[in-house]
Chains A and B, each alone.
Chain A
Amino acid sequence: MKRIYTIEDACIGCHLCEVGCITEHSQSKDPVRAFLHEPVRSISRCTVEELDGGVISLSTTCRHCDEPDCLRACISGAIQKNDAGVVRIDTEQCVGCWSCVMACPYGAVQRNLAKKKANKCDLCPDRKSPACVDACPNRALVYKEGSQK
């Protein structure tokens, strides 16, 4: 299946992948509205981490694992893997127990505290290529066929 790969040497730490993700998962799909005017700002599903004041940075995101630890730990069945291999959370079903946060070895599940729901990459069901990948100005994120690791 197609997955998102991180090329850390190309990451410039601009956080545009996060902006892209938040915008894509907003109601308006407009960055300004998403950040300023919508009642609850969505939480980015990719996480840019920085070290040494940004000298090293990289964007981490879900691997859509073959045997997802998040799914196995989920006590409500909110996490399912579809036939295409995409691992998604059904937000309605989620009870906010954070078992998936405990289990995901990539640290790829976020806690949405305002909604008390878990949050993770859904590979942007409405797009051909994920918003984070499209937003990256230096191709530090690539979307291509490949294995989990």
Chain B
Amino acid sequence: MNYVIIGNSVAAVGAIRGIRGVDDKGNITVISRERHIAYGRPLISYLLGGLITEKRMAYLPEDFYEKNRVNLLLDAEVVGVDSTRKQVKLAAGDTIGYDRLLVATGGDPFVPPIEGLAGKERIFTFTTWDDAEKLKGIAADMERVVVIGGGLIGLKAAEGIHLLGKQITIVELADRILSAAFDRPAGRVVAKKMKANGIDVITEDTVVRIEGEGARISGVTLKSGDYISCDTVVVAIGVRPAAGFLKGSTVDVNRGIVVNDTMETSVKGIYAAGDVAEASDFFSGQKNPMPIWPDAYIQGDVAGTAMAGGKKTYGGGLAMNSIELFKVPTISMGITNPLEPKEFDILTYQDMENYQYRKIVLQDNRLVGAVLVGQVDRAGIFSGLIREKVDVTPFKEQLLAPDFGIIHLTKEIRNTLFAPYGKVA
């Protein structure tokens, strides 16, 4: 059996382990257009800010590829897939045949056509190790930076640049930063901390024109008419599934590559996992992209297992983010900001002075979401309660307690978790 995996990041790693869990004979070929072996993509802001060295970028133990007998092709871009001949085509011209194909190509940063952007030199995106390297390379004569987009990637870029001692303004279209994961109070806590650190956060506005002569940037003009002077712009508006090379194939692509609950696409033998895929959502079952690291791993594992003939099904994507910004830890998961609050039972605790906030979202006595700011310890217990759809009625009053723990669950739940073999022998 010949397995070919396009992309060499976390979804690919989950898939390699998934395949090898079932089939230790088949040939695995991994193709990546990057020149690095798998690295912690979320670590690029740590690298930029000088918090870690290059050595610590490596995501895997050194012997991983060898131990799993992976044929790794770096610096090789796939430009086409021929599902009839079962071949992928590389930019260099050669083709590689497959029996099972996994598309784990993640997302490409999206750069909208902003006036004045074309031809400017210091416009960056921030999704790869090389992006971080480039920004670091010009750090010496960078002074003021505008980051367009206050989502996860924009904030991470801002944090890295801030650590380099530069002035930053974040421009966000929504009414708060991190609107996808946070509700208003949580967004406010973090924005407050950022402002305290000297970072300007402008909301409900956007960049309409990049100013400057020739390749040089002198500033940006906002929709509101405001002008911010700067010499560098980071565009972090979002990522789009990196599936362009599937054009002309019969693989069904919506907002991502549409997959079933074994991660198989509309074409038999072709699978997709990670940021590029659109799989079912944990709550609604509707197809949804879920561009987070843990989910990419899980999808990769499911795909790899299925490709090798094993059985595992995807339990649905559950959003979860652990983001520490300017020393305020935050963890959010599930439904944090329901559109129809009436259908939910929402508990909150707030202490803005001390950067503390907790929110619990319940539906039909089941936990469906949580936001923790400040005190985030043992947050995972909540993710377990969400996934297992546990009825929280007996301990609902305790859910907001900062020391909420296993002991607050019922003995029955605890016994299934910890002591399957009855009482003391």
Check A7/B423 contact, CB under 8 A, given A58-B406, A77-B40, A102-B333.
yes
Bitwise interface map of A from 74 to 99 toward B, beta carbon under 8 Å scored 1, else 0: 01110010000000000011011111
Task: Verify if A126 is at the interface (C-beta below 8 Å from B).
Answer: no
Which of B52, B293, B384, B385 makes the CB contact (< 8 A) with A73? Answer: B293
A30-38, A45-53, A127-135 - interface stretch: A45-53
Check A60/B331 contact, CB under 8 A, given A9-B423, A9-B424, A75-B43.
no
| Closest A residue by C-beta to B52 | A95
B56 near A76 (CB under 8 angstroms)? yes
Query: Which residues in A have their C-beta under 8 angstroms from that of B322?
Result: 73, 97-99, 101-102
Task: Verify if A1 is at the interface (C-beta below 8 Å from B).
Answer: no
| Closest B residue by C-beta to A76 | B40
B380 near A72 (CB under 8 angstroms)? no
- State A54–B42 Cα separation when bound (angstroms): 42
Query: Chain A's nearest CB lies how many Å from the CB of B391?
Result: 16
Task: Verify if B84 is at the interface (C-beta below 8 Å from A).
Answer: no
Among A56, A76, A146, the one with the most B-chain Cβ atoms within 10 Å of its Cβ is A76
Query: Chain A's nearest CB lies how many Å from the CB of B70?
Result: 16
B406 near A49 (CB under 8 angstroms)? yes
The interface size of chain B toward A, counting residues with CB under 8 Å, comes to 51
Bitwise interface map of A from 50 to 66 toward B, beta carbon under 8 Å scored 1, else 0: 11000011101001000
Bitwise interface map of A from 6 to 50 toward B, beta carbon under 8 Å scored 1, else 0: 111110000000000000000000000000000000000001011
| Closest A residue by C-beta to B420 | A149
- State A21–B242 Cα separation when bound (angstroms): 47
B42 near A97 (CB under 8 angstroms)? yes
B58-66, B226-234, B262-270 - interface stretch: B58-66
Check A105/B51 contact, CB under 8 A, given A57-B407, A75-B40.
no
Query: Which residues in A have their C-beta under 8 angstroms from that of B411?
Result: 8
- State A96–B331 Cα separation when bound (angstroms): 13
Check A5/B419 contact, CB under 8 A, given A93-B56, A105-B384.
yes
Which of A9, A51, A100 makes the CB contact (< 8 A) with B408? Answer: A51
Task: Verify if B339 is at the interface (C-beta below 8 Å from A).
Answer: no
Task: Verify if B14 is at the interface (C-beta below 8 Å from A).
Answer: yes
Query: Chain A's nearest CB lies how many Å from the CB of B132?
Result: 14
Which of B52, B60, B383 makes the CB contact (< 8 A) with A103? Answer: B383
Task: Verify if A107 is at the interface (C-beta below 8 Å from B).
Answer: yes
A56 near B60 (CB under 8 angstroms)? no
Query: Which residues in B have their C-beta under 8 angstroms from that of A50?
Result: 407
Between A and B, 13 residue pairs with Cβ closer than 8 Å are A5-B421, A6-B419, A73-B294, A75-B43, A95-B43, A99-B294, A101-B376, A102-B320, A102-B322, A105-B380, A105-B385, A105-B387, A107-B377
